[in-house]
Amino acid sequence: MSSLYKEITLPNGVKYSQPVGLFINNEWKSSSKTFETLNPSTEESIASVYEASAEDVDLAVSAAKQAMKTWKDVPGEEKARKILKLAELLESKLDLFAAVEAMDSGKPLETNSKPDIQSVASYLIYCAGFSDKLHGKVIPIDKDRYAITKRYPLVVGQIIPWNYPLSMASWKFCPALACGCTIVIKSSELTPLSLLLFADLVKEAGFPPGVFNVISGFGAVAGNRIAEHPDLDKVAFTGSTVTGQKVMKAAAGNLKHVSLECGGKSPLLVFDDADLDQAAKWAAFGVMYNSGQNCTANSRILVQDNVYDKFLQLFTAELKKSWIVGDPFGKKTTLGPVISKGQYDKIRNYIKKGKEEGAVLILGEDDEQLKSLPKKGFFIPPTVFKDCQQKMTIVQEEIFGPVVAVSKFSADSEAIEKANDSIYGLAAMVFSQNFGRIQSVADKLEAGSIYLNSSNDEDLRVPFGGFKMSGIGKELGEAVIELYTETKSFYMNVSHKL
């Protein structure tokens, strides 16, 4: 077997051939360095993957720029057919891709990884419909003059996080392909495998060389080169706010288009007229799904004082009942490991900080039901602090793990004030059975997505993006077209007179 592929046996016994090279111009290439990707459930190496240098990024950008010369003129209907073929190929290999992500990222296979991969196929199908509908406008000026606008695709760089390796990548490459863009996309160094595997499907679906280029590597080198590259028209990034600031700064050198989806500290508000049983279930799902490694996780819960104790009882009971820590390939597992030793240590430090600052730990590793964690792997059980105060570190900072800080409030105005007391504004959740109250509160919350009597149930057809330090630009829905096209205006003087 070529050194650009490695035969891997998945934890479920299935063997497959994993690409490990750089996918540039529809060819697999090696580089001068490699790095290892680890299974977070076992802490064991899965494969060594070729690492992109700045020079490798240059090669990929050159291929994308060259491909744009012809790809931009391919009819939208043909682009749509290729995107639909890609969706068909992915669906035919859904089980394989889901297992690869479960191994590489620690996602529970049945409840997490499979839905993630299916969402990629669904989004490809959705975006294919845009390919032949990228219309401009006719704007009347006066009786002898009018203007028309046309949309043009971009050569784009895309930088992907580790928490949803292929799913978050699809939020970027699906609309970009539909808009006629050519792409250089970099996976996270922690979870490179599924995007590399996907690149083979892109070639099989018939996309020309240079349209879709995949590189693996580190942010400080490959990511920075993408952000600063003068031949890229746009950079799209999902990840931490701190890294997003660095991307934006690097992109400023040639004023390229920038879209950022960054951190969050989403508040979930429970009012005294809420259906508390459902609120507890949604709150548990919203902070524990994907092991809490989710930018919109409701990691802050604000509960009205007269139902505070009752909600906590229901919430902790739901966590113990439904969020089972274990092997991602286990049939009953709903909560896998966090991604890495670094993330594990960071979360444990936040738990320690919560105790030191006076928050009351009511559920965590000391609980009898949660003590039997796997001996290997980066596992953290559902962890709940109550009686949290606004200035506490665990209330203000993004933890990105299965840890939640619960506080109480009295009046609606207090709930709104506490919810908005954050540098972030990605999402918020409101639970009440009074429509007037719920709409009034939601209107005042500073967040891009507001979930009313639910949490983290976004839809691919609805725009998604944050306020404040949570990012710039809207992904998903029709709004995403603005991110991947440039508009040109043509002024038409039909009289020819000055």
Residues annotated as catalytic are: 261
Half-sphere exposure of 398 (CA within 13 A, CB side): 25
Alpha-carbon 377 to chain mean position = 23
Half-sphere exposure of 78 (CA within 13 A, CB side): 9
Torsion of CA 406, 407, 410, 412, to 10 degrees: -70
- In this structure, what token pair is assigned to residue 205? 């679906």
d(CA 468, CA 470): 6
Query: Which residues contact residue 137 at a Cβ distance below 8 angstroms, ignoring those fewer than 6 apart?
Result: 148, 149
Alpha-carbon 200 to chain mean position = 22
Spatial contact of 280 and 318, defined as CB atoms under 8 Å apart: yes
- In this structure, what token pair is assigned to residue 361? 């730990």
- In this structure, what token pair is assigned to residue 198? 């996907």
d(CA 185, CA 173): 8
Helix axes 76-92 and 165-178, enclosed angle (nearest 10): 160
Angle at the Cα of 444 (from 475 to 172), degrees rounded to 5?
A: 5
- In this structure, what token pair is assigned to residue 134? 């990228």
Backbone angles phi, psi at 241, to 5 degrees: -65, -40
What does DSSP assign to residue 424?
E
Rg (CA), the chain: 24
- In this structure, what token pair is assigned to residue 454? 């639910």
Count of positions (residues) in the chain: 498
d(CA 448, CA 345): 30
Q: Is the C-alpha dihedral spanning 334, 336, 339, 345 positive or negative?
A: positive
Q: What is the amino acid identity at position 446?
A: E
Give strand ranges (E) for 143-240.
Answer: 145-153, 155-159, 182-186, 212-215, 234-238
Query: Which residues contact residue 255 at a Cβ distance below 8 angstroms, ignoring those fewer than 6 apart?
Result: none
